[in-house]
Structure 1
Amino acid sequence: MGEAMTEFLLCVKGLKKYFPIMAGLFRKEIEVFKAVDDIDFSIKTGEVLGMVGESGSGKSTAARAAVRLIEPTEGQILFSGQSLRDLSKNELKKIRKNIQIVFQDPYASLNPRKTILDSIGEALFYHGIVKTKEEQIEKVVDVLQKIGLSPDIMNRYPHEFSGGQQQRICIGRAIALNPKLIICDEAVSALDVSIQAQILNLLIELKETLDLSYLFISHDLSVIKHIADNIVVLYKGKIIESGSNIQIFENPQSTYTKELLNAIPRLRPRQSKTKNIT
């Protein structure tokens, strides 16, 4: 790989993820479904890359393949200058703490039998960030303060919190490991609009204070506009347009991108009910 690729925190070239389609009595492969088909994208340190597309566009599959949560069919992947595809499973585990994911459904992401202390703090022991219970509690207190929640909640359970609070806890679990990259996979789409804004603002604040990078996945361009520096648009497994936030919103080139922009709800000015007196 060229030197240009090492300038990025994450650099992906020629990524493909194909799934076999089986049929017949003996389950013979008859064709392949190209969920992700030869895409390139990169993320610099401190950058937010927005990845947008409708359901089935391949955006979540692309993100998972890019960090080997699922094995890519083809492609070159560099993370912090290291080829992820050359790593064994054990080697890959060692760098997992540098890449965290926040999923769409916070309640499903949290073990209902674990307290918030355990939900956030268990991985700290696994990755050697803390060695004692006291260190774990101290770290979790710090994390809860960063995500805008009281340390008093540590011994409570996920079902005791609202969706927005649960997502804050999931974000806290992600940042507890001091990652370099967080993948936000539809991380606000299940939340009310007012709560979405609060979570987006929290993510922006954490990015600045912790020097994070995000791969932010959404079907909603209005959400992407609020947080992304650069944007890639996926359609049927291919990137059909990419550019800066301003370029995509002010000068979209593809018909599909224009359709996504037109789907953003717009407020209409209310007509005054007061009649002019003549």
Structure 2
Amino acid sequence: MDYRIVVDSCGELTHRMKESGIYVTASLSMEVDGDTIVDDHTFDQADFLRRVAASPECPKSSCPSPEKYMELFEGGAKRVYAVTLSAELSGSYNSAQLGRSLFLEEEKNRDVQIHVFNSRSASVGETLIALKIQECEEEGLPFDEVVRRVEDYIEEQHTYFVLENLDTLRKNGRLTGIKSLVASALNIKPVMGSTPEGTICQLGQARGIRKALAKMAEQIAREGMQTEKKILAIAHCNCAERAREVERMIVDRIKVKDSFIVDTAGISTMYANDGGIIVVL
């Protein structure tokens, strides 16, 4: 291949993406009770959720090293693109940037072009960015134009999520500045989203998960622009029927170019927890 797309493992790859030969994954890892779990093809979601439920400690994550990114930039491609978790939520972006600098310092790699995209999102937000890169490459666009179009796409992208609980995000310091979270005893579920900078914000709330999901669908329909040209992506953590219901709620309200649903991989599972839904458009 003339080009390669590296996606850190918070971005779920569809089966077609995995089979294409274009994509490679930079695996993050998670720690639960002293055990390290690599977020790769060996990840067992059910076992991980059991471990987290049984543990008194909050799970933690580690990003790929710069050296790991350097390895993934190898392979003979002349154009390499990396897509990472929001730089505001993880060190993966900075690690990829350092890996890029070290890789390009080597004389043999001087003619390779590499760009690292800060998704300012996570999960299927990264997936959609990677698909946009592939679309631009297949149009035959030059490297700099691919970068420009994809950065523009990131600016327009919106991420939303509703989780059964926010404990992992809160305990890992990912909810800084959010003051209006309501006690879980009241069964109030916040509708969350990402800011343009890639941090997490609260968009609304509702009593019960179904009402919160409906509120999220309404917000997506209200904020969506030129949705008929966009792909709707949904990731779910162990709740496939809930994801299909959310898809129906959204496509009943707006037209989209296409849509797909994936199960969360390791890092997204860690933060979404059992029953979480992530939507990106």
Normalised to the residue count of structure 2, the TM-score between the two structures is: 0.32
Which of structures 1 and 2 has the bigger CA Rg?
1
Normalised to the residue count of structure 1, the TM-score between the two structures is: 0.33
